[in-house]
Amino acid sequence: MKKTVALLLTLLLVLSLAAFTAAEEAAFSGTITIGDGSGISGDFGYDFGIAQPDVNMFMLMTGYQLVPTDVEGNFHVNETAVKSLTATESANGGMLYDIVLNEGLVWTDGKPVTAYDYVASYLFRSTQAYADCGAYAEAGYHLTGYFDFYNGVTEAFAGVHLVSDYEFTVEVSPDDIPSYYQDYYIDVYPIRLDAWAPGYEIVETESGAKFNKAMTVEDIAESVEAERRHPTFCCGAYTLESFDEGTLTGVFKANPDFKGNYEGKTPTVETVIYKNTSTETEMDELRTGSIDVLLNATSADKINAGLDLTEEGGFYEIHYPGCGFSCIFFDCGKGATSSQSVRQAIVYSFDRVEFVKQMAGGFASVLNGYYPDAIFGAQGIGEELNEDMNPYSYDLNKATELLEADGWTLNKDGNPFVAGTDDVRYKQNEDGTLSELYVHMVASSDSKFSDLCVQMLSSALPQIGVHFETSQVDWGLLMQYMYDSTASDCNMYVSGSWFGVDYQPSWDYTLDPELMDSYNIYHVYDEELYSLARAIETTEPGDEETYLTNFYNFNMRWNSVLPAIPMYSGDTYCFINERIQGYAGSAFANPDYSILYCTVAG
């Protein structure tokens, strides 16, 4: 007999239609202008490794996600979209979820949001053709039959079934049961297949849902690119009115047909303007009213300037532990940085304490592991981990010792390297040729963080015999280099990560060679690291003690392998004009959430 189990706090839900229909259409008024200096590109392709500001804008337009998170990072079944949701153990050891949707949800063209749109999201966003467009085709990654479907072994996606217009089922694979996050694995948002892949349709079969024909990248490349730049249909709280690629400014209008978030909350603010800001002018823009909300202040200069502004009056601030992970990625599969000893030597050569002091003052602290402050593991044992991990305190002598032990002892002529005489170290290969200790770091332009990284490493690394070059490029080109290792000779990237509530590092350190570039952009092959990452994810739901133990073990290994230089994490500050009332945020509450709960005075 199948056993019915709980989803989240309660997975067996029968939600009343009265609760669903209680949300009343609100009157819209006012404008909020949001300023964000953390890298807007205008690419709304959520699955394409886009920067957080682009994610924020995408989420303004996206509604009826199945399992969203609240301001504290807790999962919720979306009662606005879901009429009932049950889970039963499958005979094969998986978990089968049966979802029945509420009727009355619509797209901006008036067409109903149905089970077809959710099934389309699972299928389309799990295809090789979509991946060939540059996407993370992972929507159904944890579902039964994903890999066979993705690789074209089967036409049908075995773990996804379209039952009726408003009902569908998905099965989480036995390989992912148990998992600490197994209830989150079904999360998806609806898409319009006719916009993303014109000419394709969903067909239900006994073996699972499938497309009416084999999908090819040639068929969908043009439509995918168009949807990334300007979605044809939306079902979220806001719709995109325009995006100016020159000023990197998006204008969004309240959607009168939006039935609400998981709490039934609908927008009251009529217009949201989301614009790119620069560090030189953004505080003046806030002071003069050009922007109402300044997001993501993490540097000491910006935070102190914002606090000074709040003391003058007319503004307030909110702050919270951040989900951002500032770092410099290594390409562990290219050139000198493929050596763990070289990576460790570089970190010893970087005075990160001084860096954090200059960048964030007392608002952040140096990190030594792979996590930001806000996530559960860091909140639980972050202090203990930092005490136990190698801090890689600034030490050029230690860096030199590591290089010499790794064989970087020669000059360009093959003679012993002499510090003070020779500039660059070399290493003799097995075939007798010499390899240069060459490192090329790429960073974004118009960034104090990048500028300081370039300045400090350009000073330190030549002192230990590294031929160090840097390039500073726009954010889009930086992303291209990071996600396509063949696009340049770079093997260090100044960037960062943004962590959600579902800490799943095995994605980043997968051993599957086909998932390099798209997932494991570090190109690090370390079986122990991957195994420890999987141990975190396969913890029984609710077993916090084991979870924290596994979190500890993974980060201790990560601290030794060093796929990246961890920089710092600290509180994130937002500064808000007092005419915007009730704006609340957290590391897990993006503007799409916060705007629903605030009003514009006057």
What per-residue confidence (pLDDT) applies to 144?
A: 98
429, 386 in Cβ contact below 8 A? no
Angle between helices 376-388 and 544-561 (to 10 degrees): 50
Q: Which pLDDT band holds residue 13 (cuts at 50, 70, 90)?
A: very low
C-alpha–C-alpha distance, residues 535 and 537, integer Å: 5
> Which of 586, 584, 602 lies closest to 265, judged by CA?
584
Give me the phi and psi of 341, to 5 degrees please.
Answer: -65, -40
Beta strand pairing call for 167-172 and 434-436: unpaired
Q: For residues 158-168, give the mean pLDDT.
A: 98
pLDDT tens per residue, range 19-40:
444 344 458 999 999 999 888 8
DSSP annotation string for 337-400: GGSHHHHHHHHHTS-HHHHHHHHHGGGEEE--SS--SSSHHHHHHHHHHHHHS----S-HHHHH
Residues 6 or more apart whose CB falls under 8 angstroms from that of 253 comprise: 238, 239, 241, 270, 271
- Say which range, 90-104, 156-170, 361-375, 390-404, has the weakest mean pLDDT: 361-375
Fold designation for 243-321+571-600: D-Maltodextrin-Binding Protein; domain 2 (3.40.190)
Task: Examine the pLDDT at 515 and tell me if it is beyond 90.
Answer: no
DSSP letter, residue 111: P
pLDDT tens per residue, range 213-233:
999 999 999 999 999 999 999
Q: Which residues of 205-223 are buried (b: 16+ CB within 10 A; e: fewer)?
A: eeebbbbeeebeeebbeeb
Q: Which pLDDT band holds residue 585 (cuts at 50, 70, 90)?
A: confident
In this prediction the pTM is 0.81
Q: For residues 296-302, give the mean pLDDT.
A: 87
What per-residue confidence (pLDDT) applies to 423?
A: 97
Q: For residues 329-336, give the mean pLDDT.
A: 95
Instruction: Return the structure tokens found at 413.
Output: 């002529």
Mapped onto helix, strand or coil, the DSSP state of residue 254 is strand
Mapped onto helix, strand or coil, the DSSP state of residue 140 is coil
pLDDT tens per residue, range 172-222:
999 999 999 888 999 999 999 999 999 999 999 999 999 999 999 999 999
C-alpha distances out from residue 528 to 506, 511, 558, Å:
11, 11, 10
Q: Where are the domains of the chain?
A: 13-18+44-52+60-229, 243-321+571-600, 324-569
C-alpha–C-alpha distance, residues 532 and 459, integer Å: 36
Position of tokens 């992912």? 176
Instruction: Return the structure tokens found at 263.
Output: 């709490």
Instruction: Return the structure tokens found at 20.
Output: 């669903």
Q: Which pLDDT band holds residue 521 (cuts at 50, 70, 90)?
A: confident
- Say which range, 46-50, 176-180, 525-529, has the weakest mean pLDDT: 46-50
Q: Which residues of 440-464 are buried (b: 16+ CB within 10 A; e: fewer)?
A: bbbbbeebebbebbbebbeebbeeb
What per-residue confidence (pLDDT) applies to 361?
A: 85
- Mean pLDDT (the chain, rounded): 91
What per-residue confidence (pLDDT) applies to 21?
A: 41
What per-residue confidence (pLDDT) applies to 602?
A: 67
Fold designation for 13-18+44-52+60-229: Dipeptide-binding Protein; domain 1 (3.90.76)
Higher pLDDT, residue 300 or 518: 300
Position of tokens 């929507």? 139
Burial of residue 412, with CB atoms counted within 10 A of its CB: 0-12 exposed, 13-18 middle, 19 or more buried: middle
3-state SS string for 176-231: HCCCCCHHHCCCCCCCCHHHHCCCCCEEEECCEEEECCCCCHHHHHHHHHHHHHCC
Domain 324-569, CATH: 3.10.105.10
DSSP letter, residue 311: H
Task: Examine the pLDDT at 3 and tell me if it is beyond 70.
Answer: no
What per-residue confidence (pLDDT) applies to 25?
A: 45
Residues 6 or more apart whose CB falls under 8 angstroms from that of 355 comprise: 452, 453, 456, 567, 568
